[in-house]
């Protein structure tokens, strides 16, 4: 299921502003890769280029290639909608659909893509909620609105919603930054479980979190505001946090800047 991502010579723009410059990297399947770096270094932008969400923003434009196994996501004729079905995403702030119940939220992706069989939908909902470690907490109130859950539960609901469509890659854009430590722990445990099935890429501002959950870490930096962000180095998480090659990485993880 899980797929490898190969990014090559990637530039990302907002209108005329270049936000990410010349990034090449490989993300291994069935692993967790963390993107770290100071604000504005382009890590979220890069993440959004991996499922063609970057171009949803007016003026958003990408050069270079992103290959999922051997398919270039930016080749002509590739449908961005199909890409997003394969590469799912969880956002910074939990965003359940307010008009839908918990079950309907999880089923939303399947139902909006045409699945009608009620029994099958119910099974998928249960499996996804179990997969997101939320089933026990919500199984008695599946028909209640998703907005009634706590922040951490809502975020796990969003993860359940994302994995219900059975993507092969799961992108997470600072999924815990709006959550308390206990909810954060629940999500981190979940991420560790998810990597047995999916390729997970997570953007985080929290370096302990990157150290705890990821196998590989990529450090991004920018020379000045208004300049594009670049990939400084990418290595095994343990190596990045104990013995990074680049001076800037060491300065950043030891808290000397950023």
What is the contact surface with another protein in residues (CB under 8 A)?
Answer: 51, 53, 56, 58, 81-86, 88-89, 91, 93, 95, 97-99, 108-109, 112-113, 145, 147-148, 158, 161-162, 165
Cα separation of 73 and 207, whole Å? 30
- Residue 190 makes CB contacts below 8 A (sequence gap 6+) with 132, 133, 156, 159
Question: Minimum CB separation from another protein for residue 60, in Å?
Answer: 12
The two structure tokens encoding residue 26: 């490989």
Does residue 209 contact residue 183 with C-beta atoms inside 8 Å? no
Question: Minimum CB separation from another protein for residue 100, in Å?
Answer: 8
**Of 81 and 224, which CB lies nearer to another protein in the complex structure?**
81
**Of 164 and 213, which CB lies nearer to another protein in the complex structure?**
164
Question: Minimum CB separation from another protein for residue 168, in Å?
Answer: 12
Does residue 13 contact residue 59 with C-beta atoms inside 8 Å? yes
Question: Minimum CB separation from another protein for residue 97, in Å?
Answer: 6
Q: How far is CA 194 from CA 11, 133, 145, in A?
A: 29, 11, 26
**Of 2 and 47, which CB lies nearer to another protein in the complex structure?**
47
**Of 164 and 210, which CB lies nearer to another protein in the complex structure?**
164
Residue 209 dihedral angles phi and psi, to the nearest 5° = -60, -45
């Amino acid at each position: 299921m899980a797929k490898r991502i190969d990014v090559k010579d990637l530039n990302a723009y907002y209108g005329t502003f270049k936000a990410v410059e010349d990034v090449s990297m490989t993300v291994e399947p069935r692993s967790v890769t963390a993107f770290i770096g100071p604000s504005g270094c382009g890590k979220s932008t890069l993440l959004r280029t991996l499922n063609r969400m970057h171009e949803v923003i007016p003026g958003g434009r990408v050069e270079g290639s992103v290959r999922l196994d051997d398919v270039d996501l930016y080749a002509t004729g590739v449908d961005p909608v199909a890409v997003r079905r394969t590469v799912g995403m969880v956002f910074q702030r939990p965003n359940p659909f307010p008009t839908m119940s918990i079950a309907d939220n999880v089923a939303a992706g399947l139902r909006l893509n045409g699945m009608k069989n009620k029994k099958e939908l119910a099974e998928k909902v249960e499996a996804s909620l179990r997969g997101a470690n939320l089933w026990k907490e919500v199984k008695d109130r599946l028909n209640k609105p998703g907005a009634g859950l706590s922040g951490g539960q809502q975020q796990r609901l969003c993860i359940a919603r994302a994995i219900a469509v059975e993507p092969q890659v799961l992108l997470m854009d600072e999924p815990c930054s709006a959550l308390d430590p206990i909810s954060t722990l629940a999500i981190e445990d979940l991420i560790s479980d998810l990597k047995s099935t999916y390729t997970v890429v997570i953007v985080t501002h929290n370096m302990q979190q990157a150290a705890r959950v990821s196998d590989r870490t990529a450090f991004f930096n920018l020379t000045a505001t208004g300049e594009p962000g670049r990939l400084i180095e990418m290595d095994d998480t343990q190596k990045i946090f104990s013995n990074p090659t680049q001076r800037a990485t060491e300065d950043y993880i030891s808290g000397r800047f950023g």
